[in-house]
Structure 1
Amino acid sequence: MQIKPLNIPDVLLIEPQVFRDDRGFFFESFNEERFTRLSGIRPRFVQDNHSQSARNVLHGLHYQIKQTQAKLVRVIVGEVFDVAVDLRKSSPTFGQWTGAVLSAENKRQMWIPEGFAHGFVVTSDSAEFLYKTTDYWAPEHERCIAWNDPAIAIDWPINGMPTLSFKDQKGVSLADAEVFA
């Protein structure tokens, strides 16, 4: 396993060691001891989530203002462009985003720490997305920032308007969002 910080150093790209032969492949999708040794982070996961979406579906930018969640995300079918936005007001990267292509083929994962909004868009015909969280989903604390906020200026790899949930259509600007100290 290799762990590389992205352009926001707290967001990590994890590349597992994949063993392939004519029968298929094998890799450890998570090893707490190795993850902690390489990242300095010892997460306590309490919930696993699994979603499936079609091409051009965009989820996000989601976060919980209380019961904050760090996430370890990956794709097991298809491909997505995954994004994290720093919402920590005291951070030098506040309001900035970072992203990576995650796919069933590349088997990459992304670590998104607490204090970040998260989103992704499906760039294949469909995708299945798995993520572990460090706290439980709390809809009363969930917030959403507009996927296309010009203050953040995410370079989404899409043409035209993505397919959005009702919740995501109501996302607010970063200027109007509740953020972290």
Structure 2
Amino acid sequence: MQIHPLKVDGSFLVEPNVFRDDRGLFLEAFSQPAFHEAVGHPLSVAQVNCSVSRKGTIRGLHANALPGQARYMTCPVGAIIDILVDIRVGSPTYGEHVAVELSADNRHALYLAEGLAHGFAPLTDLATVVYLCSSTWSPGTAIQIDPLDPELGLPWPAVRELLLSENDRAAPSLREAEKLGLLPSYAECQTRYAELDDLARVG
């Protein structure tokens, strides 16, 4: 398994070794030792989510207020584009995005640290997304950003009709969310990451 840091601090692309033969294939979808070595602390899994989406759907952009929720995204059926956005005020890459394809073909995974927002859209008629979460769902901490914010200019697939939830359609732009004080600061997130690294060393 290879785990590569992406240009936005706190995000990593995971490329597992896939072993194929006449029966099918085998891979390690997640390895705690490899993850710990690459990120600096283990991933504490409190919840596993699964969603199935049809083409035209956009889910996101979503994040959580600190202490936040880290996510480890996979797509075992179909293919998606997953787009992460740095919403940490004061970050050197604030407002920038990284887009990666996760699919049943490449078997890649995407890790997003606390404080990063992301959304995804199917590239196939149907796509199943399974993701490990470091905390359970807490609606009072949810942060939503308009995935169609023109200032972000995110590379969503071109489709005839976009399918978004009412909450996602009504979400503020990144600029509006910052003015409303909804976003975490980069300094606060760095403190959180250091706490997780310290806990791993003590443990």
Same fold by TM-score, threshold 0.5 exceeded? yes
CA distance in 2, matches of 1:8, 1:66: 18
Structure 1 residue 157 displacement after superposition: 2.3
CA distance in 2, matches of 1:37, 1:68: 21
* Corresponding residue pairs, total: 181
Query: Who is 2:184 aligned against?
Result: 180
Rg comparison, structure with higher value = 2
The 5 A counterparts of 1:21-100 are: 21-100=21-100
Whether the 8 Å CA contact 1:35–1:42 is kept in 2: the answer is yes
CA distance in 2, matches of 1:149, 1:45: 31
Q: Cα deviation per residue 1:66-93 (whole Å; 9 max; x = unaligned)?
A: 4510100000110000011111112100
Structure 1 residue 148 displacement after superposition: 1.0
The 5 A counterparts of 1:1-181 are: 1-177=1-177, 178-181=182-185
Gaps of 5+ in 1: none
Whether the 8 Å CA contact 2:143–2:183 is kept in 1: the answer is no
Residue type of the alignment partner of 2:31: N
Whether the 8 Å CA contact 1:67–1:136 is kept in 2: the answer is no
What's the secondary structure of 2:37's corresponding residue? helix
TM-score (normalised: structure 2): 0.85
What's the secondary structure of 1:148's corresponding residue? coil
Residue type of the alignment partner of 2:184: F
CA distance in 2, matches of 1:41, 1:18: 25
Q: Cα deviation per residue 1:84-142 (whole Å; 9 max; x = unaligned)?
A: 11111121001111110000111000001111111001110100000011111111221
* Structure number with higher helix proportion: 2
What's the secondary structure of 2:131's corresponding residue? strand
Residue type of the alignment partner of 2:176: D
Whether the 8 Å CA contact 2:67–2:114 is kept in 1: the answer is no
Identity of aligned residues (%): 36
Q: CA RMSD in A?
A: 1.3
CA distance in 1, matches of 2:106, 2:85: 23
Structure 1 residue 3 displacement after superposition: 1.1
Structure 1 residue 161 displacement after superposition: 4.2
Structure 1 residue 173 displacement after superposition: 0.6
What's the secondary structure of 1:20's corresponding residue? strand
